[in-house]
Amino acid sequence: MAELPDHSHCRFCGDPIPFGGKYCSEECGSLYEARTKKETRKERAFFALAILAVAVVTAVLYLLR
């Protein structure tokens, strides 16, 4: 079996790249950053809504007491 040279894989598309690299192209780098920002916004929105929901339920239960 032939040995493969040391290499990494692109964080966005998974293509093999020289060892130590992060992306195979600038396009993959910018797409990865955009996807990461979008996921971060979604996570923050989810947690904000969860906290709001807990606050509303707590307030309703307190008022119904």
Secondary structure element (H or E) that encloses residue 34, with its range: helix 26-63
* pLDDT the model gives residue 33: 97
For 5-63, what is each residue's pLDDT tens digit? 889 999 999 999 999 999 999 999 999 999 999 999 999 999 999 999 999 999 999 99
Token pair belonging to 52: 């709001």
DSSP 6: S
Answer positive or negative: Cα dihedral of 20, 23, 29, 34.
negative
Whether 1 maps to a domain, the answer reads no
* pLDDT the model gives residue 3: 85
* pLDDT the model gives residue 10: 96
Whether 2 maps to a domain, the answer reads no
* pLDDT the model gives residue 27: 98
CB 32 within 8 A of CB 17: no
Whether 43 maps to a domain, the answer reads yes
Domain count, the chain: 1
The model carries a pTM of 0.74
